[in-house]
Structure 1
């Protein structure tokens, strides 16, 4: 499906801004960076491409315009109500594609940092919650307002409820009201809130710090974090203990420990 601007601009821009750091930018500002089927596909591809690139250590995800993302493209969805099945097949395909893209972020071995300079609503808020880390402007806000238009934010609920407390998640889902960046920080949706002019700089600083670590170690740790979070306490400790043993057998662990003992900077081999 084509979804390009009149000038044929890509919907997701990808740039290597410095060694080890890729910046992805949602590029549908005129449509409030709504997650059309085409944008979802492009973002999914870029996440997987960066995840497979051995030179990449971290990904910063931002957006052009004054809205990070307004969520699903409601105009695109509504147009398919004219389909023979009332749009059911297209709705299912869209939700499946969106969920697959969100899971790709979690499965990506490289940490993904959301850099939010504007409003993030519905699936846009879900995207922020799905990223491993999130930095936002003081003026940004967040909402899951589907309940206001008769469409409960059920898929955004998955990521939201895994980041903030149940009571806060239910408040956002049931009231559908915007939450300030300051409150989102308190809720646990964000890591840092900074002036709007500093969002990208802050996110890149975090990415740079991650890029200074062993890529192999970071990949092991990210995968283990999400896996153990879904296990019981006993299962989590058994699993994490095995991960620690396997991590100890990685070359970079041996190098890092020796470097610490010898009081020198480690030389990572990323294996």
Structure 2
């Protein structure tokens, strides 16, 4: 049903694949629209507990925005930064969708992630990269700046490392990306799929209700005063402890067996 992405579900994991390999999986408005639809589809599917986001081929996870499309928009006289349309724009809707997913999302990097593609990977909860992948924000090289994705990267990377990425436009290796907070794990290319599958299965075996409420709480307390954070988290803990999944988890622990979580 999609033209620019692939969507498949197996073993409680939804795999969403950016499928424009000839264009290095660059983000276009149609692709963003399909990604948003796929996110909603995975969110609404009770059989999906984890989402994996990846790119077709091994050349690029995602090369960022389609600059050709940006140029055409400017040539047509349409403002790409109209304040009245910002919240309706495809990039705004895409990057603000991640905290609302309600389910863990893992980025699988078999190819390079640059510009908006790096922002897309960094917006995921976990990032597993092949050891020969590179990451970068090359916007400065064409007179631009990673404006949109800076909000995402700044949540993952300390300022000194972030500024070096932004100022130089130089790429870093996957290992360097791990050191500065952009990547969770780096594995040999031959082990990438096995590791992503293992990680997805491990997470999918947890309580989907616990994962959702915990993930929602993580984003809900962001930027709030400590007292507000603790108050919110305590209220969430009390509510979570009363769920069937929590009771099943505790019973399974006491009975030395694997829990059977039902998401209730």
TM-score, normalised by the number of residues in structure 1: 0.91
Offset of residue 254 of structure 1: 1.1
The runs of 5 or more residues in structure 2 that have no matched partner are none
Q: Contact (CA 8 Å) 2:86, 2:92: kept in 1 or not?
A: no
Provide the residue aligned with 1:53 in structure 2. 45
- The CA deviation string for residues 71-107 of structure 1, in whole angstroms up to 9 with x for no partner, is 0000011012221346655xx6698311211222221
Secondary structure of 1:81's counterpart equals helix
Moved over 4 A (4+): 85-89, 92-95
Secondary structure of 2:258's counterpart equals coil
Provide the residue aligned with 2:67 in structure 1. 74
Offset of residue 189 of structure 1: 0.8
Secondary structure of 1:13's counterpart equals strand
CA distance in 1, matches of 2:150, 2:86: 19
- The CA deviation string for residues 204-255 of structure 1, in whole angstroms up to 9 with x for no partner, is 2111011101111110111111122322222211111111111111111111
Q: Contact (CA 8 Å) 2:16, 2:51: kept in 1 or not?
A: yes
Provide the residue aligned with 2:21 in structure 1. 29
Offset of residue 260 of structure 1: 1.0
1:106 equivalent in alignment to 2:103: no
1:130 equivalent in alignment to 2:149: no
Alignment of 1:1-271 (within 5 A): 10-16=3-9, 18-65=10-57, 66-85=59-78, 96-271=89-264
CA distance in 2, matches of 1:84, 1:68: 31
Offset of residue 264 of structure 1: 2.0
Q: Contact (CA 8 Å) 1:14, 1:22: kept in 2 or not?
A: yes
Measured on the aligned residues, the alpha-carbon RMSD in Å equals 2.0
- The CA deviation string for residues 52-83 of structure 1, in whole angstroms up to 9 with x for no partner, is 10000001111112111110000011012221
Secondary structure of 1:269's counterpart equals coil
Against the structure 1 CA distance between its residues 102 and 249, is the aligned structure 2 distance closer, same or farther, given a 3 Å change threshold?
Answer: same
CA distance in 1, matches of 2:181, 2:80: 36
Secondary structure of 1:205's counterpart equals helix
Most deviating of 48-57 and 257-266: 257-266
Offset of residue 10 of structure 1: 2.1
Secondary structure of 1:142's counterpart equals strand
CA distance in 1, matches of 2:67, 2:236: 43
Task: Count matched residues.
Answer: 263
TM-score, normalised by the number of residues in structure 2: 0.94
The runs of 5 or more residues in structure 1 that have no matched partner are 1-7
Most deviating of 24-33 and 78-87: 78-87
